[in-house]
Structure 1
């Protein structure tokens, strides 16, 4: 054990841990994010109030029990840096860490107490193969690890590899995601309260389409997104 501690200390000198956002060297008591970046995370209080911006953005697109976004997203921010690393640079630890932080919020919320299963918004198999992973899986795993809930990545799938919505107008986004999801095994969700997890909420078109599909399987749906733009 003592040899291991010495070895870890030696490795940390050669390869010191860096903040996932600003990439400055972490101090001994810091973990994943430096104190400055942790303090400046734009954390929302959506989990406390049912009348929040995330809920208002989604509630007319599907039957939703509750919705909350953990962070506020803005251009050239530390949140954008973290989301880019998660989505495009295979840094899944970002999703696990922020998901677990979000999970601690949800654990204390009066609105997320009877969740049965956590479901990440799925990627189409071609896109997942190209990217190598679904970034939402790690966020869902981080949340579920705190809530002590199972994660289902098998029974809810994406049927269409639809175009990116980055440069689309609002109505184009809604049309782009209509009927793109399917419950392969509706009995896995019937009568349950599912927590649908996404990385970033913009218009809510994708999450609304996914929620409508789950509604049709006979389950209650709540939504948790890591960030909201």
Structure 2
């Protein structure tokens, strides 16, 4: 009773805020308010057969993948853009972890988690990692691992070059920017494994394609991809 009263008192002074809309959370809400949970633009791609998944079609003829998954649709100036901005530029790594937990639990309930042996996030270059302090894809991977009960390895891939931002590049330029910059740290941990490669946002898919190709070359038997959002 006293603990509840103290928590309520602290909530008045230091209210917990929704990660999407920044409105105060009420008792029973964690990370996202009920309104945002209801109104976020979910893709539900995990419910679609592979040949009807519009995300999977982006990789046809480029990379053989088992599952192409993305939790949310990116909508400019909407809640999802705000969440990603908080995650990447405001130091809110909890955004990635929380969304990973929610999506991971959904994938586990859908029976898809059983198709993965290992989760590997797209790595940042050490220089960029030192500047940001954390890898936003790894934060998402941590949440997914908790929700799906599948292990994650932050060091599965290594980025060998500090590439320029992909934001204003077209498909060809994005591929040229990342085509040969990923290496597998320990092939013995990859051989024979079904790997889920994780990133924050999918646009053209060039980065995930390059990561998947490196993992297949190292001996992974199957590649799937998952992101927080897709554009």
Normalized against structure 2, the TM-score is what? 0.94
Post-superposition offset of 1:34: 1.8
User: Which residue of structure 1 lines up, in the alignment, with residue 22 of structure 2?
Assistant: 23
In the alignment, which residue of structure 2 is the partner of 1:73?
A: 74
1:105 match = 106
Please name the residue that 2:226 is paired with. Answer: 224
CA distance in structure 1 between the partners assigned to 2:47 and 2:66 by the alignment: 14
Query: What secondary structure sits across from 2:168 in the alignment?
Result: coil
Alpha-carbon distance in 2 for matches of 1:175, 1:131: 24
- Relative distance call for 1:34 and 1:175 in structure 2 (3 A) is same
Task: Return the alpha-carbon distance in structure 2 between the equivalents of residues 155 and 20 of structure 1.
Answer: 29
**C-alpha separation between the residues in 2 aligned to 1:127 and 1:166?**
16
Residues 73-82 or 148-157, more deviating: 148-157
Deviation at 1:126, TM superposition (A): 0.6
Of the structure 1 ranges 52-61 and 137-146, higher mean CA displacement relative to structure 2 is found in 52-61
Counterpart secondary structure, 1:199 = strand
Residue 186 of structure 1, CA deviation: 0.5
| Cα separation, 2, equivalents of 1:75 and 1:136 | 20
- Inter-partner Cα distance in structure 1 for 2:211 and 2:61: 13
Cα shift readout 1:45-71 (whole Å, capped 9, x = no counterpart): 111222312111123322211111110
Distance 1:153 1:23 in 2: 30
Q: More displaced, 43-52 or 29-38?
A: 29-38
Distance in 2 of aligned mates of 1:192 and 1:59: 22
Which consecutive residues of structure 1, in runs of 5 or more, have no partner in the other structure?
none
Matching residue of 1:196: 197
Q: How many angstroms apart in 2 are the aligned matches of 1:222 and 1:142?
A: 17
Shift of residue 112, structure 1, vs aligned partner: 4.2
CA 111–7 in structure 1, closer or farther in 2 if over 3 Å, else same: closer
Q: 1:152 to 1:211 in 2, by over 3 A?
A: same
Corresponding residue of 1:135: 136
Structure 2 alignment gaps of length 5 or more: none
* Deviation per residue, 1:134-170 (Å, 9 max, x gap): 0011100101001112111123111111110111122
Helix, strand or coil at the partner of 1:6: helix
Q: Secondary structure at the match of 1:227?
A: strand
Q: CA deviation at 1:30?
A: 2.4
- Paired with 2:185 and 2:27, the residues of 1 have a C-alpha distance of 47
Helix, strand or coil at the partner of 1:53 = coil
**Which residue does the alignment assign to 1:87?**
88
Mapped partners of 1:154, 1:208: distance in 2? 18
